[in-house]
Chain A
Amino acid sequence: MAENSLTFQGTKAQEEQLMSVIEQNKNVPGALLPVLHEAQEIYGYLPIEVQQMVADGLGVSLSEVFGVATFYSRFSLTPKGKHKISVCLGTACYVKGSDKILAEIENQLGIKSGECTPDGLFSIDSCRCVGACGLAPVMMIDEDVYGKLTPKEVGKILKKYMDEEGGAK
């Protein structure tokens, strides 16, 4: 592995964008939450480097920033992969066994839901209902929907994305 995608790789442009957000929100009561939202928009996730910039910029402690970032499930502390896998754990999908689909993906990629593979190719998340209950169980990879899944099919689908990268494993 040349460079681990889990190490922070923020750009100067991203930093400037974040700084301008902080500048606009400085001295605004309760600014931490909206600034973290923007920060996640800019970077895709909230690594320690970004949280430290927010803390320094707003004059709050890192522990407070971390507390807010870990309280809300919409904030992510890990980067998202090039391909974002989202397994539906809504009622219909769940009774159709989507938990087993998720477990199979986790097993094949060697990461847990909420995490990203070290090569940066995939990240896994769970979601609640994508509105395709008739196709349950359902997962999405990026914008593509895969329905009526069985654990067996998972490997084939993942392989398609790996092959696209030219590095079939």
Chain B
Amino acid sequence: METVHLKINNIPVEVPKGYTILQAAKQANIEIPTLCYLKDINCIGACRVCMVEAKMNGRPMRGLLAACVYPAEEGLEVFTNTPAVIKSRKTTIELLLSTHRKKCLSCVRNNNCELQKLALEYGVDEDHFESEDAGYELDEQSPYIVRDNNKCVQCMRCVSMCKNVQTVSVIGSIKRGYQVHIGSAFDKSLGESPCVGCGQCIVSCPVGALMEKPQEDKVWDAIQDPEKEVIFFTAPSIKATLGESFGMPIGTNVEGKMAAAVRRLGDGVKIYNMDFTADLTILEEAHELIERIQNGGTLPMFTSCCPGWVKFVEHYYPDFIPNLSTCKSPQAMFGAVLKGYYAQKTGMDPNKMFVVSVIPCTAKKFECTREQLRSGDGDYDDVDVALTTRELARMIRRAGLTFADLPEEDYDTPFNKATGGGVIFGATGGVLEAALRNAARTLDGDFKMIDFEEVRGPEAIREVTYNVAGMDIKVAVTSGLGNARKILEKIKSGEADYHMVEIMACPGGCINGGGQPYQPDSVRNYVDYKALRSKALYDQDKNSEMRSSEESPVCKMVYDEFFEAPGKEKAHKYLHTSYVARGNKMS
């Protein structure tokens, strides 16, 4: 490997050719501040926060260099904190703040904002430059994402994420100069665009310009309402990320404290385990796969538990709708189990049940509103509110609970137990692996293999063939919609013929969902946080007594008492759904 030698703050460094000054500095354990830079997503040298001074061959270079884009060169001497550099950064931040609506106290990103952090570090005067408030209207028309352009710093991270990573490109930079703002074509609302709602723009945003559509107040109201029976369930990945909101190391599994915390949000609040309906999804989906293979159904079958991915197919690849598994997502299945089966079993009125899912995801907020998912005849959605991990953390904080000190408790019965197959749903490859565990055991009672490690990563697209009961089963897994597009094009052109494909809209799967806790740039740019979060789930799976979904005693109970068996009529009525072509244009 070709390398270059340079000095950073007089420390000699040798780095691979092609490294930027920013990367080289990190190797010398020097962090240069950034704002618009986001590893693998946005590298455009726009914000001018990462400026450094440099000398070449002993002679000072003209002007300052943007460290995030300037290549490390042989003989370069870089200085990252000279008075000129500090002054430049300070002025830049003050200019950014001049047009920023500084309502920091009530901002969702208060204490969690990259701009606020820089302002503090550089001792800026936020009112140094006076400017008029641009007065942008809030875009809160979509059921999942709210945009406040008054706080936008035009770093382009959300645009780059949407266009380059997700290849959906429903937002862009509009106009120029002072009028520049981010939005959808013709300044329409995101809700009118073919946005899939993945929320990756939110977790890319360094400030409070983007947030999930907040719904905590609805839940607080329901908790106070004596008529309502408030029932929570938490998605598989939440236990692996919620702790981050309370300062715990990334990858801490907080399942027990999470159950304790939710239970303490209000009197009578129930907390169930959504890993159970992940298992239930697997039993239905693996059954559907086998049926499609044996009866000449549409192949490959695509997983359908990710609502961002489902909406992507509906908007951009409607021809592939028959390939989507008809299984509802675990969130929707849980809603149907509660307001269908459980209401009947216990005599509860489904109108009085207030079902709250906690999910890593903004697209699930949209999913709740899909009328195809209503299993009952009444005027109610099966899931009333979907809260992101961040929203749950805010509720726990407002309830005054010291999360770290809570005891470890269990989920409420009867929906408490799940298998390792349900747990790994939260990581890319997990759904497919759980489906393979179950399908292989259904086809071959003596099948022993439990770990299908090839589908776990880290490659962006994993294609594997497994021999099960004398049959070659070809599978593919990916996450991120840009990668999904590649797989779809391959299938379209006939280059690939899989039996089953797992796709998650967010890169890395639910553990990196658009509703997960914010991680600061210092983590996003330098730590493999996705791997750490996934590990928490795979570790739990490894230590589970039950690892394949058919072992789930809760699934057995609901089939015995209500749904009969996977694929049976009642199971179909409650646990399966349909999709609609939505068109890829602005509405």
A residues apposed to B, CB below 8 Å: 48, 51-52, 60-67, 70-71
Q: Jot down 19 A-B pairs with beta carbons below 8 A, ordered by A.
A: A48-B186, A61-B169, A61-B170, A61-B172, A62-B585, A63-B169, A63-B172, A63-B185, A63-B193, A64-B163, A64-B172, A65-B185, A66-B186, A67-B172, A67-B173, A70-B175, A70-B176, A71-B175, A71-B176
B534 to chain A, nearest CB (A): 31
Closest 6 CB pairs of A and B: A61-B169, A63-B172, A66-B185, A67-B172, A62-B185, A63-B185
Q: Across the interface, which residues of B come within 8 angstroms of A63, CB to CB?
A: 169-172, 184-185, 193
A48 to B186, CA, bound (A): 7
Q: Across the interface, which residues of A come within 8 angstroms of B163, CB to CB?
A: 61, 64
Q: A48-B185, A61-B163 are in contact. Are A66 and B174 (CB under 8 A)?
A: yes
A66 to B185, CA, bound (A): 6
Asked if B487 is at the interface of the complex by the 8 Å CB criterion, the answer is no
Q: Are A52 and B175 in contact (CB under 8 A)?
A: no
A104 to chain B, nearest CB (A): 25
A138 to chain B, nearest CB (A): 27
Asked if B586 is at the interface of the complex by the 8 Å CB criterion, the answer is yes
Q: Across the interface, which residues of B come within 8 angstroms of A66, CB to CB?
A: 172, 174, 185-186
Q: Are B185 and A51 in contact (CB under 8 A)?
A: yes
Q: A48-B185, A48-B186 are in contact. Are A62 and B586 (CB under 8 A)?
A: yes
- Of the candidates A48, A51, A52, A67, the one whose C-beta lies within 8 Å of that of B174 is A67
B9 to chain A, nearest CB (A): 39
A70 to B183, CA, bound (A): 12
A66 to B193, CA, bound (A): 13
Across the two chains, which residue of chain B brings its CB closest to A65?
B185
Q: Mark B421-447, 1 if CB is under 8 A from A, else 0.
A: 000000000000000000000000000
B194 to chain A, nearest CB (A): 9
A37 to B37, CA, bound (A): 33
Interface residues of B in 163-199 (CB under 8 A from A): 163, 169-176, 184-186, 193
A67 to B163, CA, bound (A): 13
Q: Across the interface, which residues of A come within 8 angstroms of B186, CB to CB?
A: 48, 66
B486 to chain A, nearest CB (A): 15
A48 to B586, CA, bound (A): 10
A66 to B586, CA, bound (A): 12
Q: Across the interface, which residues of B come within 8 angstroms of A61, CB to CB?
A: 163, 169-170, 172, 185
Q: Mark B21-37, 1 if CB is under 8 A from A, else 0.
A: 00000000000000000
B276 to chain A, nearest CB (A): 40
A63 to B171, CA, bound (A): 6
B186 to chain A, nearest CB (A): 6
Q: Across the interface, which residues of B come within 8 angstroms of A65, CB to CB?
A: 185
Across the two chains, which residue of chain A brings its CB closest to B174?
A70
Q: Across the interface, which residues of B come within 8 angstroms of A51, CB to CB?
A: 185
B585 to chain A, nearest CB (A): 7
Q: Across the interface, which residues of B come within 8 angstroms of A62, CB to CB?
A: 185, 585-586
A65 to B172, CA, bound (A): 9
Across the two chains, which residue of chain B brings its CB closest to A64?
B172
Q: A48-B185, A62-B586, A64-B169 are in contact. List 15 more A-B contacts (CB 8 A).
A: A48-B186, A52-B585, A61-B169, A61-B170, A61-B185, A62-B185, A62-B585, A63-B171, A63-B172, A63-B184, A64-B163, A66-B185, A67-B173, A70-B175, A71-B173
Across the two chains, which residue of chain A brings its CB closest to B168?
A61
Q: Across the interface, which residues of A come within 8 angstroms of B585, CB to CB?
A: 52, 62
Q: Across the interface, which residues of B come within 8 angstroms of A52, CB to CB?
A: 585
Q: Across the interface, which residues of A come within 8 angstroms of B172, CB to CB?
A: 61, 63-64, 66-67
Interface residues of B in 475-530 (CB under 8 A from A): none
A60 to B163, CA, bound (A): 10
A169 to B175, CA, bound (A): 36
A70 to B176, CA, bound (A): 7
A61 to B186, CA, bound (A): 12
A110 to B132, CA, bound (A): 27
A52 to B172, CA, bound (A): 15
A162 to chain B, nearest CB (A): 31
Identify which of A63, A64, A66 gathers the most chain B CB atoms within 10 Å of its CB: A63
B584 to chain A, nearest CB (A): 9
A79 to chain B, nearest CB (A): 15
Q: Across the interface, which residues of B come within 8 angstroms of A64, CB to CB?
A: 163, 169, 172
Identify which of B170, B174, B186, B585 gathers the most chain A CB atoms within 10 Å of its CB: B186
B164 to chain A, nearest CB (A): 11
A12 to chain B, nearest CB (A): 21
Q: Across the interface, which residues of A come within 8 angstroms of B170, CB to CB?
A: 61, 63
A70 to B172, CA, bound (A): 11
Across the two chains, which residue of chain B brings its CB closest to A51?
B185
Across the two chains, which residue of chain B brings its CB closest to A48?
B186
Interface residues of B in 439-461 (CB under 8 A from A): none
Q: Across the interface, which residues of A come within 8 angstroms of B176, CB to CB?
A: 70-71
Q: Across the interface, which residues of A come within 8 angstroms of B193, CB to CB?
A: 63
Across the two chains, which residue of chain B brings its CB closest to A77?
B186
Across the two chains, which residue of chain A brings its CB closest to B184?
A63
A52 to B583, CA, bound (A): 13
A62 to B168, CA, bound (A): 11
